Structure 1
Amino acid sequence: MSTTLVTADELAAHLDDPHWRIFDCRHDLQDIGYGEKAYLKGHIPGALFLHLDRDLSGEKNGANGRHPLPGKEAFAAKMAACGVGPDTQVVAYDNEGSIFASRLWWMLRWVGHEKVAVLDGGVPCWRRAKREFETAVPTYPPAPFAVRAGALPYGADDVLERLDDPQFLILDARAPERFSGEEENLDPVGGHLPGAINRFYFDNLDDAGCFFKTAEELREEFDAVLKGRLPQNVIQQCGSGVTACHNLLAMEVAGLNGSRLYAGSWSEWCADPSRPIATGE
């Protein structure tokens, strides 16, 4: 069972394995049709496509952020329709440093499915290994996927209660300029949660921005940020609950298990003017 990362060789060895299911999660926040077009142009054999807005997010109401979670039952029904059963090994990939694949990884853990991993390196890794792509869209028989107890996200009130608790750490995965509030091109308000620390998700990757750093490198870097705090007391946050999953996955790779996602993240937080905000580094 793979629960964090798989290599291209590992995935290639299971392309014909009926107990494995592959999902293409490519996306562009500025061009929401990009991922599906790229998938149809060529994808890893056997992969199905999942769209961030349609499949990995729920309905927006103006106060719950840009990518609110869907209902658990609706997401479970989607997985069942894709042929994911309780014993299926799921592998997610994208072309964006694994940020969207990490969202699917976390969501499956959220509904109690532990057998899920991310293809380390994504599309660039698969291409670099000279592996084949295909254009055919596969179909699979439905499977009996059911919601089980899984990872618990935090809500805005949960985070608010912990803002001044020194045992907790809020880790913001956004780029430094968005964290500081100097630049904000996605949300109407710039800044960050008071007391949060910036850990740009891209820092989890190697110098080429492709593969995750080694577990040892990640452990050293996150230990320096946690400063002795328990991993279970880390609140993962970003703009809309997507790239925060990348930090959560990186901590799991490093053996720092149990941090929790603030699913609504900054886009939900800043929608309520009564919530405190901070700017600067």
Structure 2
Amino acid sequence: MTVTRDVDELKAALGSLAPPVLLDVRWALGDPDGHRHYLDAHIPGAVYVDLPTELAAPGTPELGRHPLPSVDTLQAAARRWGISSRVPVVVYDDAGNLAAARAWWLLRWAGLKDVTMLDGGLGAWTAAGYETAAGQEYALVEGDIELGEGHLPTLTADEAAARAESGTLLDARAVERYRGITEPIDPRAGHIPGAVSAPTAGNLDLDGLFFGPAALSERFADLDGPVGVYCGSGVNAAHEIAALAMIGVDAALYPGSWSQWSNDPKRPVATGPERFGPPEFNPSE
């Protein structure tokens, strides 16, 4: 599975006779100003995608903060973005693709095969000296894409619990949230019992680029059995699934993630360093 493309590849593709659809997915926990950031500076031709309203259904305690949208809702949005069959799609953000990975995963889940992330996102684009645009909105030709569902695996809460017992369930949140030291948004602190701590930040180098296959294989060397991934609300976990896909590991997403689990008083919660993955490594060594 091709997961990323670099900035030079994207620059060439945007100047071709058949350019890809380019989606700007600017979002971060606690920052509601993604659209303003897009208007300040974006890659020319990019369409802004609002993660909370276009890549998720309305959140509830029972389903989590960012439930998967219906296929009909996603298809209508994808057509608004200009996505048609046989047209490549590239997604990016300004934070190492931690948000854009949600669009990558969701479109793959809905059956779109030719979708990749811009490795390094907007930062890599500007570091390469390529221009940005500001304050622009684009009148796009509506697409005709037909989407489905279930092309990538998902887990229910019960299945996530089972995966932690028989297989590997990765917790992609920061270590402090996994341990239960802090919880900035959800009602209970801690993690799903048996889950392995593997923060998404460990997938990226200091420039916000994905580590190469050798380094990622080292990071995830201790996986045992089928793999599932969760995070706070099913967003950053998609980044972990992308990193695993780069080394040939198929992983299932628990979309409800901690925001669903922690809202259910019947679900047990673990705290402390119950089960950690391999220590952080320096791929240059």
In the alignment, does 2:183 pair up with 1:190? no
Output the TM-score relative to the length of structure 2.
Answer: 0.91
2:99 match: secondary structure: helix
Q: In the alignment, which residue of structure 2 is the partner of 1:29?
A: 29
Partners of 1:60 and 1:129 lie apart in 2 by 38
| Contact map agreement 1:15 1:45 (CA 8 A) in 2 | no
Partners of 2:80 and 2:123 lie apart in 1 by 28
Percent identical residues: 37
Deviations 1:28-82 (A, max 9, x none): 321212x110111121011000111111110122211111111111101110121
In the alignment, does 2:61 pair up with 1:73? no
In the alignment, does 2:227 pair up with 1:234? yes
In the alignment, does 2:136 pair up with 1:116? no
- Following superposition, the deviation at residue 219 of structure 1 comes to 1.2
| Contact map agreement 2:2 2:246 (CA 8 A) in 1 | no
Structure 2: runs of 5+ lacking an equivalent: 274-285
Partners of 1:110 and 1:190 lie apart in 2 by 29
Partners of 1:130 and 1:218 lie apart in 2 by 28
Aligned residues: 270
Q: In the alignment, which residue of structure 2 is the partner of 1:159?
A: 160
Partners of 1:203 and 1:16 lie apart in 2 by 33
Deviations 1:89-147 (A, max 9, x none): 11111111211111100000110111111110111101100101112222221121112
| Contact map agreement 1:180 1:191 (CA 8 A) in 2 | yes
| Contact map agreement 1:25 1:100 (CA 8 A) in 2 | yes
2:14 match: secondary structure: coil
- Following superposition, the deviation at residue 209 of structure 1 comes to 4.6
Q: In the alignment, which residue of structure 2 is the partner of 1:250?
A: 243
Deviations 1:151-186 (A, max 9, x none): 131111322344432xx1100000000000011112
Partners of 2:28 and 2:129 lie apart in 1 by 25
| Contact map agreement 2:234 2:256 (CA 8 A) in 1 | yes
1:14 match: secondary structure: helix
For the aligned residues, what is the CA RMSD?
1.4
Partners of 1:152 and 1:86 lie apart in 2 by 22
- Following superposition, the deviation at residue 19 of structure 1 comes to 4.5
Partners of 1:180 and 1:12 lie apart in 2 by 42
1:54 match: secondary structure: helix
| Contact map agreement 1:237 1:261 (CA 8 A) in 2 | yes
Structure 1: runs of 5+ lacking an equivalent: none
Partners of 2:128 and 2:215 lie apart in 1 by 24
Q: In the alignment, which residue of structure 2 is the partner of 1:279?
A: 271
| Contact map agreement 1:72 1:111 (CA 8 A) in 2 | yes
1:134 match: secondary structure: coil
Partners of 2:152 and 2:247 lie apart in 1 by 18
Q: In the alignment, which residue of structure 2 is the partner of 1:137?
A: 137
In the alignment, does 2:218 pair up with 1:220? yes
Output the TM-score relative to the length of structure 1.
Answer: 0.92
